[in-house]
Amino acid sequence: MSLGKGYSARVASNAYLVGTFACIGGGLFGLDIASMSGVLNNQAYFEVFDHPGSNAQGAIVAAMPAGSLIGALTVTKLADAIGRKKTILLAGLVWVVGSILQSAAQERGMLVAGRIINGFSVGLYSATVPVYQSEVTHPALRGRFVSFQQWAITWGIMLQYFVQFGCSYIAGEASFRIPWGLQLVPALVLTLGMLYFPESPRWLIDRGEDDQALQILADLHGGGNTNDELVLLEWEEIKQQVTFERTEGAKSYLDLLKPGIRRRVFLGASMQMWSQLSGMNVMMYYIIYVFEGAGLTGTRGNLIADSVQYVLNVLFTIPAIIYIDRWGRRPLIIIGTFLMGFFLSLVGGLQGGFGEWGNVDGSRVWVINGHEGVTKGVIVCSYLFVCSFAITLGPVSWTYPAEIFPMRVRGKAVAVSTAVNWLFNFALAWAVPPALAAIGWKTYLIFAAFNFAACIQFFFMFPETAQRTLEEVEEIFAQGHMFQAWKIGRDVGKKNLAQVQNENAELNEKLGEKEGSIEKDSA
């Protein structure tokens, strides 16, 4: 590692390593999700934490997204003030503290405190990593690399669940403390590894570190050659955007409400809101409750059925990673939300038609009894729902908000969008157990309706952004068509180096004339 540069040029030249390594932060999010779902039928857990009821368990689970909401809002200052890389490093240290508290917890308060601190770390990661990826990756591969964030989440969920499944054979508290303690390992790997990665060149240019930013761009996309055409194209576009944005005034939260920006803030926040209201994280947090209600009895049988769902979540994210830039964002989210709404409607309909109120382990549960075929149908529909999310809305929900904002507000805007994700995550994590206990099968129909509503908004309001540089995305939103997004073609915004250089020359000429006029008036 070159200490002068603060990163390894060899690491920076590996596009796939640079584009994916920070996604370990997404894996930590997945670890924390499964750290709760795997203990919901663990007797040692219930004994240590005094048999929490539906409301108390919802509060314990919701502690993590509550901390993540705070972390995501904190990024609005951190990501712009200290940079993307240092924010990721800080998040790793915070995660270590939270994991120690969680694994050593002796009562609910200590457990909740550990989960809040872990959540704060995840909030920092989830708002910063997509921004970092979008600013260091090749435009043609940006969607693929940001999609790795979602894939890392699915890996974290699956690995934590299988660790907990294995540890369920251990008697006593070690059955849940060992999995919680092992969460330290990936955070340490990420924190140490990020020391070898470059800072975002766009952030550096915004801070006046032009020479360092140019060299990083060359190391990232030009094999170290500062005269590479792609490097020069990105360099000119970023400088043009920075120059233009500096004439717009100082950075502040009010920038998010300016014309042309507030539309994109609404789209980014909506995307993250729908990713939660789709019901996917509910299926991750509380899949044990879902399958119990379907009539699947027995701890081992439930755990095995759950594990299939987590494996499918990992496998079906792969096609999206490979083809997201070819297929585009719009088709994926429109088709995906329609399918998710359809499969959740089937789950709710089957449970409503064949279920009844019953008692499972002392809790009031809407459950299907004596209908083995219907039970299997509910499980299959749950699997198909997860597959639909994994290949569509899951990856796009992180990619889209990271690429639609201009640089001067990108850190703040993505953080606000991610905070909306955590706000709804928190609300749903707490509310779903009482909802399942109160209205049973109707819960699934509510989430189905959310998916159909999302499908309608995606069709009318979300333009395609695939395969443009972050600066070319500006041209997309300059077209207007706020409620006719399909009218914006996939070729809008595409430019070559000569066009960008000419625009830069014109912009600099206008700025020079403006400065001359100001000096003349002052005289």
pLDDT at 185 over 80: yes
Q: Residues 182, 96: one domain?
A: yes
Query: How many domains does the chain contain in total?
Result: 3
Domain presence at residue 509? no
Q: Residues 233, 269: one domain?
A: no
Q: Residues 140, 106: one domain?
A: yes
Domain presence at residue 402? yes
Give Cα 408 distance to the centre of its chain. Answer: 21
pLDDT per residue over 387-426, tens digit each?
Answer: 999 999 999 998 898 889 887 787 788 888 988 988 998 9
Domain of 138 in residue numbering reads as: 11-199
Domain presence at residue 255? no
Take residue 452 and report the two structure tokens written for it. Answer: 């159909």
pLDDT at 162 over 90: no
What pairs with residue 379 in β-bridges?
Answer: none
What pairs with residue 368 in β-bridges?
Answer: 355
pLDDT per residue over 416-444, tens digit each?
Answer: 898 898 899 899 988 888 888 889 899 99
Among 448, 463, 478, give the residue marking a domain's end. 463
pLDDT value for 391: 94
Q: Residues 158, 290: one domain?
A: no
Q: Residues 244, 352: one domain?
A: no
Q: Residues 348, 437: one domain?
A: yes
Domain presence at residue 521? no
Cβ-Cβ contacts under 8 Å for 66 (sequence gap 6 or more): 116, 119, 422, 426
Q: Residues 205, 192: one domain?
A: no
Runs of H (alpha helix) within 316-405: 318-327, 329-354, 372-391, 393-403
Q: Residues 224, 265: one domain?
A: no
Among 159, 178, 199, give the residue marking a domain's end. 199
Domain presence at residue 208? yes
pLDDT per residue over 242-261, tens digit each?
Answer: 777 666 544 577 788 888 89
Q: Residues 366, 452: one domain?
A: yes
CATH code at position 278: 1.20.1250.20
Q: Residues 134, 214: one domain?
A: no
> 131, 124 in Cβ contact below 8 A?
no
Take residue 84 and report the two structure tokens written for it. Answer: 């993307």
pLDDT per residue over 481-504, tens digit each?
Answer: 889 999 888 777 666 667 666 766
Q: Residues 97, 118: one domain?
A: yes
Band of the pLDDT at 119, cuts 50, 70, 90? very high
Task: Give me the DSSP letters along 86-140.
Answer: HHHHHHHHHHHHHHHHHHH--SHHHHHHHHHHHHHHHHHHHHHHHHHHHHHS-GG
Among 199, 217, 237, give the residue marking a domain's end. 199
pLDDT value for 193: 93
Take residue 32 and report the two structure tokens written for it. Answer: 């924390």
Stretch (H or E) spanning 8: none
Domain presence at residue 501? no
pTM for this entry = 0.78
What pairs with residue 363 in β-bridges?
Answer: 360
Q: Residues 303, 243: one domain?
A: no
pLDDT value for 126: 85
